A and B are shown apart, each in its own frame.
Chain A
Amino acid sequence: MSEVAQEKAVHISDSAFQRLQKLLAERQTPSAGLRIEVRGGGCSGLSYGMEWADEPVEGDVVFERSGVRVFVDAKSYLYLAGSELVYVETLTSAGFRLNNPNAKANCGCGKSFSC
């Protein structure tokens, strides 16, 4: 786990925090965390993926807000530094979004971005 300056952290917004807390409770794994990764693929090059993880692995950067943890591997972190994770509910869908200052062009599918 490495220390990360505030402006380079991955922030967990209020909405995301509440939602994650609820999901973790429902999943009965209060100590688990959320892994966010950036992968190749998607319509403009790279895309986000999110998955539950029990523990961080070696090389992960870990962000925490009152017990809710987010794990980001070293490589994905380079793309994600300074991002904010938010939870959005609209009339038609609900889910998470990453507001990523590194992303110069958001694509239509929302899963991809290019720097």
Chain B
Amino acid sequence: MSELLQIREPKKPSPPTQAVGIDLGTTHSLVATVAQGQPTCLVADEEDALLLPSVVHYSANGSVVVGKYAKQLASQFPEDTLSSVKRFMGKNRSDVDAMQLKTYRLAPGEGPLAFQVSGGPAVSPVEVSAEILRILKQRACAALSSKITQAVITVPAYFDNAQRQATQDAGKLAGLEVLRLLNEPTAAALAYGLQSKKQGCFVVFDLGGGTFDISILKLKEGIFEVKATAGDSALGGDDFDLSIAQALLQKWDIEVPTPFQKYVLLEAARQLKERLSHETKVEIRFEAHVAEITREDLRQWIAPFFKRIHFACKRALKDAGLAKEDIQAIVLVGGSTRMPCVQSWVEEIFGKPGLAEVDPEKVVAMGAAIQAQLLCGATKDSELLLLDVIPLSLGLETMGGMVEKLLLRNSTLPAKATQLFTTFQDGQSGMDIHVVQGEREMAKDCRSLAKFHLKGIPPMAAGLARVEVGFSVDANGLLSVEAHELATGIQQRVVVQPSHGLSEEDIEQMLKASIRHAQEDIFSRLLAEQQMEAKRMLAELSKQMGEHSECLSVEEASALSEAAKQLETLLETTQEAAKLRNAILALDNQAKNFTERIMNSSINSVLQGHSMSEF
């Protein structure tokens, strides 16, 4: 009984849904969307703030508090208020030391990292991050008054697979479909529209509250590649505050500050830092002390950090094999880059000022929102080659010049397909893999993408070798083709960019041609199929007649040879698939007795000298 056909629901051609971009940060998180063509950050905090502190508090009664209120609970419940969990994403117990753990209690036992908190079972960094994402999702839903299920979440460029997987899991746990994990520097570059420059090298300078990251991106054909990353995971605005506070203590000869004094001074330092971004001098009052602080004072106090930043920048440039002259633009990310002092450092290091028109605290979330919008198909912007479907089918040329399509047009990215191929001739030791793109049936009418030769197939009869060819297209539209001979394990791989040099018009042309030539394509395919079948059969027949001449009488042999010759002639002359098909069937029929005898005799020879029980 053959399998019956079922009707599929078509893949939705992505109705204009709202998808959000999320910057899941170490200290703060943001959510953004694209409204009227402009990326906008959405209110994420209770008090109309855009930044949601990445802090989660677990209360004894089992409730979970996220954000500002959680932050306020931190000093009272240091063990149950988790912050900076991003540092623990995808890490094992063995990866973290006591210092990083701060006051958190590691849950007992083996296996993945988890924290013991009040009011419930231990929570993993993934679960904590999911709480933050859940709040961002709720706020976004409320702000947009629509249901949000899809998001692009940003991750640091240096995140490894485990850390990325953990972030993805957190998204899933929060009920979000993670369209893509986007590198933070790439998001920042997108927010500035740098992809429209076609090519070039860019620096993303990210100085946040607690971390400093520098990434060097190379743009080629609309795709950003991270060339190098460097940074300091313990350097940021918080350290500046500390330095300022210490300098003030020194200034006023306060040797042993009380915790309250420390707290007030730190807050004053933060305000001072922020005010000096707009003003050149600021008056500060603390208890009985009054002082006027200038930008220059601030500059001196935080100067020691410049060396560390400069060093990281130099290393990143060196790793990328670039000089500062090669850098087209520097994107500033993170609140601390608002400081005029930091901006002058950037200019000193790279010889040109950084881009700061987009709010450096929002730029990553906004870039993520742009990407999210592109991915959910709401914008018709094909400038970016971030295709979400395969525009043209991808396949392989098979014997006879036919195309075997592995990935069909409009498959959603990322896409994967594998198919087994075999050898056509006895003892065939290699296989040409010709990767083609297009809708036509014959390889010559399609666009050739790549060719390679798989060598080292062990000698086997035709049709016995098993060569698995795998096509996979990643989220960026990059196709990698891998051929893999299953018996020996030999393999070969090639990577191509199928959309390279293809415009929308080219694609349309190719599609139209496939409709225009539909009929002739089908006929050439049918003919090619029968031609291959005839060739295969003739080769097989002549081989068997040579090896098993004892199974044929002289008359039978000459009759078969005669029929084979006729098929050969027909093969060369006819253009009609049906005629060839009939001739093949006729020859097959004529050779039936012969093949049966061969079967019997080979079974007999195998069985000879053995008893049935041995099998």
Q: Is the CB of A75 within 8 A of B1?
A: no
Q: Is the CB of A51 within 8 A of B526?
A: no
Q: Is the CB of A51 within 8 A of B408?
A: no
Q: Is the CB of B2 within 8 A of A95?
A: no
Q: Is the CB of A75 within 8 A of B514?
A: yes
In the assembled complex, the Cα of A98 lies from the Cα of B522 at a distance in Å of: 19
Q: Does B404 contact A (CB under 8 A)?
A: yes
Neighbour of B519 across the interface among A78, A108, A109, CB < 8 A: A78
Min CB distance A110 to B, Å, is: 3
Query: Chain B residues near A79 (CB, 8 Å)?
Result: 522
Neighbour of A23 across the interface among B7, B404, B515, B526, CB < 8 A: B7
Q: Is the CB of A78 within 8 A of B10?
A: no
Given A41-B405, A96-B7, also A74-B515 (CB < 8 A): yes
A59-115 contacts to B, CB under 8 A, are: 59, 73-75, 78-79, 88, 90, 92-98, 104, 106-111, 114-115
Given A45-B529, A75-B514, A75-B518, also A88-B4 (CB < 8 A): yes
Of all chain B residues, the one with the shortest Cβ separation from A38 is B522
In the assembled complex, the Cα of A87 lies from the Cα of B515 at a distance in Å of: 30
In the assembled complex, the Cα of A114 lies from the Cα of B6 at a distance in Å of: 20
Q: Is the CB of A52 within 8 A of B518?
A: no
Q: Is the CB of B515 within 8 A of A111?
A: no
Q: Does B468 contact A (CB under 8 A)?
A: no
In the assembled complex, the Cα of A93 lies from the Cα of B519 at a distance in Å of: 35
Min CB distance A11 to B, Å, is: 15
Of all chain B residues, the one with the shortest Cβ separation from A74 is B518
Q: Is the CB of A95 within 8 A of B6?
A: yes
Q: Is the CB of B5 within 8 A of A50?
A: yes
Q: In the complex, how many residues of chain B place their beta carbon closer than 8 angstroms to a beta carbon of chain A?
A: 25
Query: Chain A residues near B581 (CB, 8 Å)?
Result: 104
In the assembled complex, the Cα of A107 lies from the Cα of B3 at a distance in Å of: 10
Q: Does A53 contact B (CB under 8 A)?
A: yes
Of all chain A residues, the one with the shortest Cβ separation from B11 is A51
Q: Does A39 contact B (CB under 8 A)?
A: yes
Neighbour of B529 across the interface among A35, A97, A114, CB < 8 A: A114
In the assembled complex, the Cα of A40 lies from the Cα of B9 at a distance in Å of: 20
In the assembled complex, the Cα of A93 lies from the Cα of B408 at a distance in Å of: 28
Q: Does B8 contact A (CB under 8 A)?
A: yes
In the assembled complex, the Cα of A70 lies from the Cα of B431 at a distance in Å of: 41
In the assembled complex, the Cα of A41 lies from the Cα of B526 at a distance in Å of: 14
Query: Chain B residues near A53 (CB, 8 Å)?
Result: 10
Query: Chain A residues near B10 (CB, 8 Å)?
Result: 35, 51-53
Q: Is the CB of B3 within 8 A of A111?
A: yes
Q: Is the CB of B2 within 8 A of A59?
A: no
Q: Is the CB of A98 within 8 A of B5?
A: yes
In the assembled complex, the Cα of A109 lies from the Cα of B514 at a distance in Å of: 28
Given A59-B515, A104-B581, also A51-B522 (CB < 8 A): no
Q: Is the CB of B522 within 8 A of A94?
A: no
Of all chain A residues, the one with the shortest Cβ separation from B577 is A115
In the assembled complex, the Cα of A92 lies from the Cα of B598 at a distance in Å of: 40
Q: Does B568 contact A (CB under 8 A)?
A: no
Of all chain B residues, the one with the shortest Cβ separation from A107 is B2
Q: Does B521 contact A (CB under 8 A)?
A: yes
Q: Does A34 contact B (CB under 8 A)?
A: yes
Q: Is the CB of A75 within 8 A of B7?
A: no
Min CB distance A115 to B, Å, is: 6
Q: Is the CB of A50 within 8 A of B405?
A: no
Q: Is the CB of A110 within 8 A of B4?
A: yes
Of all chain B residues, the one with the shortest Cβ separation from A41 is B405
Q: Is the CB of B577 within 8 A of A49?
A: no
In the assembled complex, the Cα of A114 lies from the Cα of B530 at a distance in Å of: 10
A12-55 contacts to B, CB under 8 A, are: 23, 34-35, 39-41, 45, 48-53
Neighbour of B2 across the interface among A23, A39, A51, A106, CB < 8 A: A106
Min CB distance A107 to B, Å, is: 8
Query: Chain A residues near B403 (CB, 8 Å)?
Result: 40
In the assembled complex, the Cα of A78 lies from the Cα of B581 at a distance in Å of: 18
In the assembled complex, the Cα of A40 lies from the Cα of B408 at a distance in Å of: 9
Q: Is the CB of B8 within 8 A of A78?
A: no
Query: Chain B residues near A111 (CB, 8 Å)?
Result: 3, 5
Interface centre among B3, B405, B514, B515 (most CB of A within 10 A): B3
Min CB distance B57 to A, Å, is: 46
In the assembled complex, the Cα of A53 lies from the Cα of B519 at a distance in Å of: 24
Min CB distance B130 to A, Å, is: 35
Query: Chain A residues near B7 (CB, 8 Å)?
Result: 23, 34, 50-52, 96
Query: Chain B residues near A95 (CB, 8 Å)?
Result: 3-6
Min CB distance B75 to A, Å, is: 57
Min CB distance B455 to A, Å, is: 27
Neighbour of A51 across the interface among B3, B8, B518, CB < 8 A: B8
B481-519 contacts to A, CB under 8 A, are: 514-515, 518-519
Q: Is the CB of B529 within 8 A of A110?
A: no
Min CB distance B523 to A, Å, is: 8
In the assembled complex, the Cα of A109 lies from the Cα of B5 at a distance in Å of: 10
Given A39-B405, A39-B408, A115-B526, also A75-B5 (CB < 8 A): no
4 nearest CB pairs, A to B: A95-B4, A110-B2, A75-B518, A110-B3
- 26 sample A-B contacts, Cβ–Cβ < 8 Å, listed by A number: A35-B10, A40-B395, A40-B403, A40-B404, A41-B405, A50-B8, A59-B515, A74-B518, A75-B514, A78-B519, A78-B522, A90-B1, A92-B1, A93-B1, A93-B3, A95-B4, A96-B4, A97-B2, A97-B5, A98-B5, A109-B3, A110-B2, A110-B5, A111-B5, A115-B526, A115-B577
Given contact pairs A39-B405, A97-B5, a sample of 19 additional A-B residue pairs in the complex whose CB atoms are under 8 Å apart: A39-B408, A49-B8, A51-B9, A51-B10, A52-B7, A74-B515, A93-B1, A93-B3, A95-B5, A96-B4, A96-B5, A96-B7, A97-B2, A97-B4, A104-B581, A108-B2, A110-B2, A114-B529, A115-B577
